Amino acid sequence: MTYKIKALEKFNEQVINLDKKSKRIIEGKIQLIKENPFRFKKLHTKSYSRIFRVRLRIQSNDMRLIYAVIEPNIILICLLERKKDYKDLEKYLNNLKK
Rounded to a whole number of angstroms, the CA Rg of the chain reads 13
Q: What is the pLDDT of residues 24-40, one digit of tens each?
A: 999 999 999 999 999 99
Parallel/antiparallel/unpaired status of strands 51-58 and 41-43: antiparallel
- The whole-model pTM stands at 0.89
Name the CATH topology of 4-96.
YaeB-like fold (3.30.2310)
Angle at which helix 89-96 crosses helix 9-16, to 10 degrees, equals 120
pLDDT band with cut points at 50, 70 and 90 for residue 93: confident
Pick left, alpha or beta for residue 85 (phi over 0 → left; psi -120 to 50 → alpha; otherwise beta).
left
Q: What is the pLDDT of residue 13?
A: 94
Q: What is the pLDDT of residue 25?
A: 95
Indicate the domain borders of the chain.
4-96
Q: What is the pLDDT of residues 3-27, one digit of tens each?
A: 999 999 999 999 998 999 999 999 9
Q: What is the pLDDT of residues 36-87, one digit of tens each?
A: 999 999 998 887 889 999 999 998 889 999 999 998 999 999 998 877 767 7
Residue 2, helix vs strand vs coil: coil
The candidate with the shortest Cα–Cα distance to 45, out of 82, 98, 86, is 86
CB 76 within 8 A of CB 67: yes
